[in-house]
Amino acid sequence: MSAPRPTALDPAISARLKRDEHGLFPAVAQQWDSGEVLMVGWMDDEALHRTLTTGRCTYWSRSRQEYWVKGETSGHQQWVKAVALDCDGDTVLVQVDQLGAACHTGDRTCFDADILDVVVGVPSR
C-alpha cells in the first residue's frame, strides 16, 4: 500500500473506510433528483474530506496522481447534495446536481455509450 496522503478527514469516518492497495475507494456520482448514475471516480480520504467540506466533488486521478475537482477545467460541475458510505465501507455514493456532461466524452453519463444485451430477469412469485 502506498503511503497515505495527509488529510483532515474525521477519524471516525476514516476508520470505516476500506481502501484498495493504493488507498483508494470508488465513488459513484448520482444525479440527486432523478437517480441517474452519472460516473464512477476514485477517492482517498483527502478527496472525500474535500468533497464533504467544499460542496464540490473532488476525486483522485490515478493516471495523473493528483486531485481534481469535477468541472474545474470543463465547466461540467458537480455540486454535492448528499454523501453516503455503503454498508461495507468500500464505496461512497455522492448525490450531486450535475451541470453539463458528467463523462469525459461529453455525454451526460458514462453509462449510456455501450448498452449490453441481457436476458431480463423476472422474479418468481
The CATH number assigned to the domain holding 41 equals: 3.10.20.810
pLDDT at position 5 over 80? no
- The pLDDT tens digits for 58-111 are 999 999 999 999 999 999 999 999 999 999 999 999 999 999 999 999 999 999
- The pLDDT tens digits for 111-120 are 988 888 999 9
Number of structural domains found in the chain: 1
Residue 92 lies in a domain: yes
The domain in which residue 22 lies consists of 11-98
Residue with cell 470543463: 74
Residue 117 lies in a domain: no
- The pLDDT tens digits for 20-72 are 999 999 999 999 999 999 999 999 999 999 999 999 999 999 999 999 999 99
- Partnered with residue 61 across adjacent β-strands are 66
Would the pTM count as exceeding 0.85? yes
Burial, 14: exposed, middle or buried (Cβ in 10 Å; 0-12, 13-18, 19+)? middle
